[in-house]
Amino acid sequence: MCLGIPMRIIECAGWSAQCEGRGVRRQVNLALVDEQPVGTWVLVVQSMAREVLSADEADKIQRALDGVEAALSGERDLSAYFDDLIASPPRRRVVRSG
């Protein structure tokens, strides 16, 4: 399984950008999202920017990743990491057959 990591573009040259996120710097291919200005948040999977993110979207993903790390460290109360889901839980979709 691959996780998308929010990264901020710190240098850009065409479809290649130097990005930084979660304490890591990486050269990222921007071919799927086109050239982006410095400061833009992108969702990076295997050194490829898959999606342009708003700062709010990047923050929500960062908190969720922090929550995963906390869970792996044995933390039991994870509500602070997923307050957006707690405030508005996903709806169940009822599928009727026949």
For 38-95, the pLDDT digits (tens) are 999 999 999 999 999 999 999 999 999 999 999 999 989 988 888 877 777 777 777 7
Residue type, 96: R
CATH of span 5-81: 2.30.30.140
Q: Would you kindly state where each structural domain of the chain is located, as residue ranges?
A: 5-81
- Class of residue 56 by CB neighbours under 10 A (exposed 0-12, middle 13-18, buried 19+): exposed
**Tokens representing 84?**
């957006």
Q: What's residue 35's pLDDT?
A: 94
CB contact at 8 A, 78 and 66: no
Q: What's residue 84's pLDDT?
A: 77
Q: How far apart are CA 98 and CA 62, in angstroms?
A: 42
Q: What's residue 94's pLDDT?
A: 76
